[in-house]
Amino acid sequence: MMLPATRAAIARLIPQQGAMCLLECVAGCDARGIACTSTTHRDPANPLRRDDRLPAICGVEYGLQAMALHGALTAGTPQPNGFVAALADVELAAERLDDVPGALEVTATALSRETRGFIYAFAVAGGGRVLLSGRGTVVLA
C-alpha cells in the first residue's frame, strides 16, 4: 500500500480539508492500524485553538482523522463523510497540546469495521508520554 507522503495527499483521502486536515505524515499502516505524526498542534493558525491555546481534548480530532485515513488507505478509496456516534473511555493526561515539544504521534487501531461505520481505539502521544486516548465510533453518511 502506498502511504501518503504529504499533508495534501492526506487531505485527498479524508473529509477534513484545508487547515482542518491536521495530520502531516503516515509513519506506518497495516490492516490493523495506522501511526501518523503532526506538528500542527503548535501552529498558531490551528483552527481548533481557543484563547491562543489548543486544549488536549482537541486531540480527539487527531485520533478521528487517523481513523478516517486508515479506512481510506485500507479501502483504497477516499473516506466518505461520517459523524461521531460515540466516544468512550477518553482519558486526558494533559491540559493542552500546543506546548508539547516536537511532533504528536497519533495512532488508531481498528476494533470493528463494517460497511456503514467503524470503531477504533486511538491515542495521541508527545513529549515522551501518552497525552490522551480513547475509543471512537463513526457512522458513515
5-36 pLDDT tens trace: 789 999 999 999 999 999 999 999 999 999 99
pLDDT (tens digit per residue) in 96-136:
999 999 999 999 999 999 889 999 999 999 999 999 999 99
- Stated as kind and residue range, the H or E segment containing 135 is strand 129-140
Q: Give the domain CATH number at 80.
A: 3.10.129.10
Q: In this structure, is residue 2 part of a structural domain?
A: no
14 DSSP assignment: S
Comparing CA positions, the residue from 46, 50, 55, 52 lying closest to residue 21 is 46
pLDDT at residue number 4? 83
Q: In this structure, is residue 1 part of a structural domain?
A: no
Q: Is 17 helix (H, G, I), strand (E, B) or coil?
A: coil
pLDDT at residue number 52? 94
Q: In this structure, is residue 41 part of a structural domain?
A: yes
Radius of gyration of the chain (CA): 14
Comparing CA positions, the residue from 15, 100, 10 lying closest to residue 54 is 100
For the cut 90, the answer to whether the pLDDT of residue 2 exceeds it is: no
Q: In this structure, is residue 135 part of a structural domain?
A: yes
CA distance 77 to 58: 26
pLDDT at residue number 5? 75
pLDDT band at 3 (very low <50, low <70, confident <90, very high): confident
96 in Cβ contact with 104 (< 8 Å): no
Q: In this structure, is residue 57 part of a structural domain?
A: yes
Q: In this structure, is residue 101 part of a structural domain?
A: yes
Q: In this structure, is residue 33 part of a structural domain?
A: yes
Q: In this structure, is residue 103 part of a structural domain?
A: yes
Q: Which residue range forms the structural domain that includes residue 85?
A: 7-140
79 in Cβ contact with 69 (< 8 Å): yes
Comparing CA positions, the residue from 104, 107, 138, 105 lying closest to residue 122 is 107
- Stated as kind and residue range, the H or E segment containing 106 is strand 104-114
Please state the φ and ψ torsions of residue 62, each to the nearest 5 degrees.
-60, -45
pLDDT (tens digit per residue) in 51-106:
999 999 999 999 999 999 999 999 999 999 999 999 999 999 999 999 999 999 99
| Bridge partner residues of 23 (DSSP) | none
Provide the domain count of the chain. 1
pLDDT at residue number 121? 98
